[in-house]
């Protein structure tokens, strides 16, 4: 199954932080995909990506190369197409009847809009966290195990997988004694971390986040932000956010979409916030509009 | 003149006339009371008539020409047997149709046409369904005049549109964010429907189905059309037993010449029917309240 092939090529335990430590345990082969330092290996790549909702164009000729195991922030004013872009990556836009996608979006080199790509299989490799926390009205355990269940990965020790996911989502300590309580009994911030645990439990390659902290208070937001930075050690994270400070704090790369669904600038986050190429981007970032 | 036009007096803060306000309020109250009071009077009247007639013997005896020995058991059991069969038929059909229309069907002309017709079918008089049942189940499928199956299938057709519409509403009330969460996890449509949509919609579906059953239990016309016997002395013991039902037995008793039947026995039957009906509706309300706390 392609599942195995694709994951094996990116289980290299590289840190995206400076000075890549070569001293891994040797469990994974590092022969493929660009040698030892794969910090900037492109995992997601859009080419001339256009999206229309009926007659209306939501994305216009987007070209972008999103690196593996880094946090890429997508910012821009309301209606600029940033959520649309995110939902193209795991083909959630397929669920919108009027949506039409042109161009290419490559995931690990494969155009996900090719006829032989099953969007359901694609979504099993690309997890998603939504704007408002949407846990199921099930127990915490069943929420986290949901992906394992629907993906047929619920053989073996589900409980251990659930605990690992909760641990990674920095939620285990708080809920350890109440795994059978309803996910709806948690606070908003905990619910969102539960949704993150749910997304990472089946061990996807990419995690898409659509303004994951916009419905949360500042304390919960800062917990989510810390968590996102940690997640980038193992996952490629693409996060849409309204909040420019948040993008500046947590992301390695930033993509700025402006009105008309146009990707105006994409670069290292420091560069975007300190010295953007485009005047329009500077205006947006300094708050002159948007 | 100025007083009853409701104009503000010259000084600005004087009392403004409320004549029309009060008049309309009284009118609305009267409209409410007409319905409530006449229903209450009817129930009271029936309940008073039933005193002395509605007893254990009435509930456990078969019908009898002597009003003092007449009983309701075959009709009561017949109604419950028909009801259970109806539930077994309408629940899967109704939920299946609702899931198809809400989750699978494209929002095209055909779907809208089907939708419109389901709404229309919910308004077709029950006697017409009786005629359909007679032609289809008794005539074409030959399952016998007035049998449990013929009665259940016929009334099932009658309430199916109601079950479908209420199930659709329950499914539509499941927040889209829940479906998105499921699809986002790589669930297929069926996995999403089974694990997320149906569990969440189930209380609403159950409530709608049970309320529809409450309507079914009072139906008389379709049973007459499929020639269900008004009076049966034994209990139904197979799907093909001839069966009577509570409203049919009551209708029959009401035509007897003796006043003991016309008042006492009929009243006892009506009270029994109402108690069963209210029990069914209470179950629906309990289910709704129990599951509605979690949203």
CA trace torsion B82, B85, B87, B93 (10° rounding): -130
Instruction: Flag whether pLDDT at B100 surpasses 80.
Output: yes
3-state class (DSSP) for residue A110: strand
- Overall domain count for chain A: 2
User: Which range scores top for mean pLDDT: A42-51, A152-161, A238-247, B25-34?
Assistant: B25-34
A151: closest CA of chain B, how far (Å): 7
Residue B54's H or E segment, with its range, is: none
Strand order in the sheet with A236-240: A110-111, A99-107, A42-53, A56-67, A262-268, A253-258, A71-75, A236-240, A206-210, A126-129
d(CA B262, CA A35): 96
A111: closest CA of chain B, how far (Å): 18
Nearest CB to A95 within list B183, B191, B200: B183
Instruction: Flag whether pLDDT at A15 surpasses 60.
Output: no
Show Cβ contacts of residue B70 under 8 Å, excluding neighbours closer than 6 positions: B58, B61, B63, B64, B253, B261, B265
pLDDT the model gives residue B32 = 94
**CATH code for B77-243?**
1.10.3720.10
pLDDT top residue among B246 and B6:
B246
Question: Which residue, A203, A225, A249, sits at the end of a domain?
Answer: A203
Indicate if A116 and A219 belong to the same structural domain.
yes
Instruction: Flag whether pLDDT at B34 surpasses 90.
Output: yes
A137 Cβ under 8 Å from any chain B Cβ: yes
Q: Which domain holds residue A76?
A: 40-125+205-290
Q: Rounded to an integer, what is the distance from CA A145 to the centroid of its chain?
A: 19
CATH number at residue A113: 3.40.50.300
Is residue A24 in a domain? no
Q: What is the pTM of this model?
A: 0.78
B167: closest CA of chain A, how far (Å): 19
Indicate if A109 and A168 belong to the same structural domain.
no
CA neighbours closer than 13 Å in the CB half-sphere of residue B205: 23
Instruction: Flag whether pLDDT at B7 surpasses 60.
Output: no
Test A120 with B187 for CB contact under 8 angstroms: yes
A188: closest CA of chain B, how far (Å): 14
Q: What is the pLDDT of residues B60-70, one digit of tens each?
A: 888 877 877 77
Question: DSSP string of B80-107?
Answer: HHHHHHHHHHHHHHHHHHHHIIIIIS-S
Nearest CB to B177 within list A90, A125, A134: A134
Residues of A in contact with B178 (CB under 8 A): 134, 136
3-state class (DSSP) for residue B5: helix
B116 class by beta-carbon count within 10 Å (0-12 exposed, 13-18 middle, 19+ buried): exposed
What is the average pLDDT across A11-19? 42
Indicate if A118 and A235 belong to the same structural domain.
yes
Q: Which of B203, B181, B205 is nearest to B91 (CA)?
A: B205
Question: DSSP string of B159-211?
Answer: HHHHHHHHHHHHHHTS-HHHHHHHHHTT--HHHHIIIIIHHHHHHHHHHHHHH
pLDDT the model gives residue B235 = 78
d(CA A37, CA A18): 10
What is the largest distance, in Å, between two alpha-carbon atoms of chain B?
Answer: 84
A111 Cβ under 8 Å from any chain B Cβ: no
What is the average pLDDT across A229-243? 90
Indicate if A120 and A142 belong to the same structural domain.
no
pLDDT the model gives residue A1 = 40
Instruction: Flag whether pLDDT at A81 surpasses 80.
Output: yes
CA neighbours closer than 13 Å in the CB half-sphere of residue B130: 15
Residues of A in contact with B107 (CB under 8 A): 97
pLDDT top residue among A238 and A41:
A238
Question: DSSP string of B261-275?
Answer: IIIIIHHHHHHHHHH
User: Which range scores top for mean pLDDT: A45-49, A184-188, B161-165, B249-253?
Assistant: B161-165
What is the average pLDDT across B102-127? 89
Indicate if A177 and A214 belong to the same structural domain.
no
Test B183 with A137 for CB contact under 8 angstroms: no
pLDDT the model gives residue B55 = 83
Instruction: Flag whether pLDDT at A20 surpasses 90.
Output: no
Residue A255's H or E segment, with its range, is: strand A253-258
pLDDT the model gives residue B166 = 93
Indicate if A190 and A212 belong to the same structural domain.
no
Indicate if A274 and A143 belong to the same structural domain.
no
Q: Which of A28-37, A174-183, A199-208, B60-69 has the lowest mean pLDDT?
A: A28-37
Instruction: Flag whether pLDDT at A16 surpasses 50.
Output: no
B5: closest CA of chain A, how far (Å): 52
Q: What is the pLDDT of residues B76-97, one digit of tens each?
A: 888 988 898 999 999 999 999 9
What is the average pLDDT across A245-266? 89
Question: Which residue, A187, A203, A219, sits at the end of a domain?
Answer: A203
Instruction: Flag whether pLDDT at A34 surpasses 60.
Output: no
Query: A290 pLDDT band (50/70/90 cuts)?
Result: low
Q: What is the pLDDT of residues B207-216, one digit of tens each?
A: 888 889 888 8
**Two tokens at B269?**
């039957």
Indicate if A51 and A103 belong to the same structural domain.
yes
Test B187 with A182 for CB contact under 8 angstroms: no
B185 class by beta-carbon count within 10 Å (0-12 exposed, 13-18 middle, 19+ buried): buried
Instruction: Flag whether pLDDT at B9 surpasses 60.
Output: no
d(CA B212, CA B277): 11
d(CA B201, CA B183): 18
Is residue A30 in a domain? no
Indicate if A71 and A184 belong to the same structural domain.
no
What is the average pLDDT across A50-60? 89
pLDDT the model gives residue A14 = 41
pLDDT the model gives residue A23 = 40
Is residue A130 in a domain? no
Residue A74's H or E segment, with its range, is: strand A71-75
Is residue A10 in a domain? no
What is the average pLDDT across A113-131? 91
Indicate if A162 and A221 belong to the same structural domain.
no
Test A134 with B181 for CB contact under 8 angstroms: yes
Please report, for chain B, the start and end positions of each structural domain, with discontinuous segments joined by +: 77-243
Indicate if A185 and A76 belong to the same structural domain.
no
Is residue A285 in a domain? yes
Q: Which of B147, A32, A196 is nearest to A14 (CA)?
A: A32
Indicate if A148 and A81 belong to the same structural domain.
no
**Two tokens at B233?**
């002395």
Query: B292 pLDDT band (50/70/90 cuts)?
Result: low
Question: Which residue, A182, A203, A224, sits at the end of a domain?
Answer: A203
Query: B17 pLDDT band (50/70/90 cuts)?
Result: confident
Mean pLDDT, chain B, whole residue set: 86
Share of chain B above pLDDT 90, in %: 31
- How many Cβ atoms from other residues are within 10 Å of residue B28's Cβ? 10
Residue A52's H or E segment, with its range, is: strand A42-53
Residues of B in contact with A240 (CB under 8 A): none
Instruction: Flag whether pLDDT at A175 surpasses 80.
Output: yes
């Amino acid at each position: 199954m392609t599942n195995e092939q694709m994951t094996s090529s990116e289980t290299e335990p590289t840190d995206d932080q400076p000075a890549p430590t070569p001293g891994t345990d040797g469990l994974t082969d590092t022969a493929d995909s660009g040698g030892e330092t794969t910090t900037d290996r492109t995992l997601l790549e859009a080419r001339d990506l256009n999206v229309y909702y009926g007659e209306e164009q939501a994305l216009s000729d987007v070209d972008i190369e999103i690196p593996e195991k880094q946090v890429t922030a997508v910012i821009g004013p309301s209606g600029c197409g940033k959520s649309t872009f995110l939902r193209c990556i795991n083909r959630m836009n397929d669920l919108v009847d009027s949506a039409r996608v042109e161009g290419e979006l490559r995931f690990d080199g494969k155009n996900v809009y090719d006829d032989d790509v099953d969007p359901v299989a694609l979504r099993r490799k690309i997890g998603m966290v939504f704007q408002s926390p949407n846990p199921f009205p099930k127990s915490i355990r069943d929420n986290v195990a949901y992906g394992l269940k629907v993906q047929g990965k619920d053989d073996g020790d589900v409980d251990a997988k659930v605990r690992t996911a909760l641990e990674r989502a920095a939620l285990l300590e708080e809920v350890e004694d109440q795994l059978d309580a309803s996910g709806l009994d948690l606070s908003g911030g905990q619910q969102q971390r539960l949704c993150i645990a749910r997304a990472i439990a089946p061990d996807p390659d990419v995690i898409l986040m659509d303004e994951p902290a916009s419905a949360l208070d500042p304390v919960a937001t800062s917990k989510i932000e810390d968590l996102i930075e940690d997640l980038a050690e193992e996952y490629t994270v693409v996060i849409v956010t309204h909040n420019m400070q948040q993008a500046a704090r947590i992301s390695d790369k930033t993509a700025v979409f402006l009105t008309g669904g146009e990707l105006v600038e994409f670069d290292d986050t420091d560069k975007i916030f300190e010295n953007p190429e485009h005047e329009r981007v500077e205006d947006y970032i300094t708050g002159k509009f948007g | 003149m100025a007083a009853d036009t409701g104009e503000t007096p010259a000084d600005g803060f004087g009392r403004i006339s409320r004549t029309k306000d009060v008049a309309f309020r009284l009118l609305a109250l009267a409209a409410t009371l007409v319905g409530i009071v006449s229903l209450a009077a009817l129930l009271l009247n029936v309940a008073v008539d039933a005193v002395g007639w509605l007893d254990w013997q009435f509930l456990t005896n078969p019908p009898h020409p002597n009003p003092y020995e007449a009983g309701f058991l075959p009709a009561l059991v017949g109604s419950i047997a028909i009801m259970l069969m109806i539930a077994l038929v309408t629940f899967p059909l109704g939920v299946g149709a609702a899931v198809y229309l809400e989750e699978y069907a494209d929002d095209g002309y055909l779907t809208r046409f089907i939708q419109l017709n389901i709404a229309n079918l919910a308004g077709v008089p029950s006697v017409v369904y009786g005629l359909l049942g007679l032609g289809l189940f008794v005539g074409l499928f030959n399952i016998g005049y007035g049998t449990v199956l013929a009665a259940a299938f016929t009334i099932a057709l009658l309430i199916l549109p109601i079950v479908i519409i209420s199930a659709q509403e329950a499914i539509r009330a499941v927040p889209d964010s829940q479906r998105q969460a499921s699809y986002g996890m790589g669930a297929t449509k069926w996995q999403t429907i089974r694990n997320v949509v149906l569990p969440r919609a189930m209380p609403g579906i159950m409530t709608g189905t049970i309320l529809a059953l409450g309507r079914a239990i009072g139906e008389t016309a379709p049973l007459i059309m499929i020639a269900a016997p008004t009076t049966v002395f034994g209990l139904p013991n197979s799907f093909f037993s001839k069966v009577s039902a509570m409203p049919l037995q009551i209708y029959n008793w009401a035509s007897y010449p003796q006043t003991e039947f016309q008042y006492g026995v009929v009243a006892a039957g009506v009270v029994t029917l109402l108690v069963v009906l209210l029990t069914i509706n209470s179950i629906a309300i309990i289910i709704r309240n129990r599951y509605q706390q979690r949203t």
